[in-house]
Structure 1
């Protein structure tokens, strides 16, 4: 599958490297191919390709948005037409003192959807820090896999993202339409507070048990 990344920081690099290992074609949509983040990613993962935003997006089947949340609108404005494209929103609106950056009045993913109304936005690859996107294996639990909760309004798009989740070793859990992203963003804040503030560390994930 041809996949493009808008944003290639810690989250983007972690996901891109794992997708590369599965033989997907991964391209960085880069306005500046000499930026520090692009050079860092290429130094670590030389198999990554780099193209202009418009070219990378035009060729991609799935696009990952992994920029800082405040950069989303400007970044999406640069990439051209996203009509019909699957856009995986990996961003979170984190506010002052680890509060919800949109005051819980709207999910960040719904705001992203308003920027690209004709794209198929799916919230995924949030709720954890980048460390678990680099390495999500937790031995000792039998066949139980860590859960990746996703949300979106387009069912076929969610099926594509679910397949990517499964390939990457996650159990994809569809929590509903895009408005449910608000709850996933609060799960991210909970994870950050537990991992970073309370000092629990990054090596924990959520799982889903069913009778």
Structure 2
């Protein structure tokens, strides 16, 4: 099911941690209908959602996954709690990172040469996965947004193997207040993983394009 940027009205967020709730608040600010789900039943998180993300709806995972766009923001080591069936055919943003010094080593990612997003895509074979929102701090997401065309507008990279999904996500990022820069296929997400220059800084679209080109050239992407 192809999703056009202008047709996105509902955003489902899987995960109610700092990243997930920051994305939720920014999406609400941009005018989207936001649904938040965790591994718990909706009624168990409804009060938390009302307090931390007023205006969003606490729902079960199936309802969040049925949104026009789904953002996965669970702790990466819990990725197997995601449902491949629920996310099949969906445009899904992977906002997760593998960062062993902070989160500890996870065999699935430590012993696999692929990027974390490639592994997630393999686990969710029916989803159209797009890597982004992983290289901006959750607090910065709500502070650095600017209207299109404003000088110094911050840019965010995205990577994925499905052009229609990337176009939809680029439109979403624009409404959140950021320029979107397409890094290429999902493997190119390596260029903005933790520890990279892209991950560690704030960049305009022109700056980000140059950094991504240089980083992808270094790793042969």
TM-score, with structure 2 as normaliser: 0.77
In the other structure, the counterpart of 1:169 is 177
- Which whole-Å CA distance do the structure 1 matches of 2:120 and 2:157 have between them? 18
Structure 2 residue corresponding to 1:86, chosen from 91, 95, 98: 91
Question: Is structure 2 residue 178 aligned with structure 1 residue 178?
Answer: no
In the other structure, the counterpart of 1:206 is 203
- Asked if structure 2 preserves the Cα contact closer than 8 Å seen for 1:100 and 1:186, the reply is no
Runs of 4+ in 1 over 4 A off after TM superposition: 97-101, 187-192
- Asked if structure 2 preserves the Cα contact closer than 8 Å seen for 1:165 and 1:172, the reply is yes
In the other structure, the counterpart of 1:105 is 113
Change in Cα spacing, 1:189 to 1:7, as seen in structure 2 (3 Å) is farther
Which string of whole-angstrom CA distances, capped at 9 and with x for unpartnered residues, describes residues 100-121 of structure 1? 9634821111111011101000
Structure 1 residue corresponding to 2:22, chosen from 3, 14, 19: 14
SS at match of 2:34: strand
In the other structure, the counterpart of 2:75 is 68
Change in Cα spacing, 1:163 to 1:142, as seen in structure 2 (3 Å) is closer
SS at match of 1:81: helix
Query: Which runs of no fewer than 5 residues in structure 1 stay unpaired?
Result: 193-203
CA displacement at 1:208 relative to structure 2: 3.0
CA displacement at 1:29 relative to structure 2: 2.0
- Asked if structure 2 preserves the Cα contact closer than 8 Å seen for 1:99 and 1:189, the reply is no
Change in Cα spacing, 1:55 to 1:110, as seen in structure 2 (3 Å) is same
SS at match of 2:31: coil
In the other structure, the counterpart of 2:219 is none
SS at match of 2:89: coil
- Which whole-Å CA distance do the structure 2 matches of 1:181 and 1:39 have between them? 35
TM-score, with structure 1 as normaliser: 0.81
Change in Cα spacing, 1:83 to 1:97, as seen in structure 2 (3 Å) is closer
Matched residues, number:
195
- Asked if structure 2 preserves the Cα contact closer than 8 Å seen for 1:128 and 1:188, the reply is no
Which string of whole-angstrom CA distances, capped at 9 and with x for unpartnered residues, describes residues 153-194 of structure 1? 0001000000011111111000000011122113568746xx
Which string of whole-angstrom CA distances, capped at 9 and with x for unpartnered residues, describes residues 18-61 of structure 1? 1111221100123323657x644420222110111112212x11
SS at match of 2:173: helix
- Which whole-Å CA distance do the structure 1 matches of 2:197 and 2:18 have between them? 17
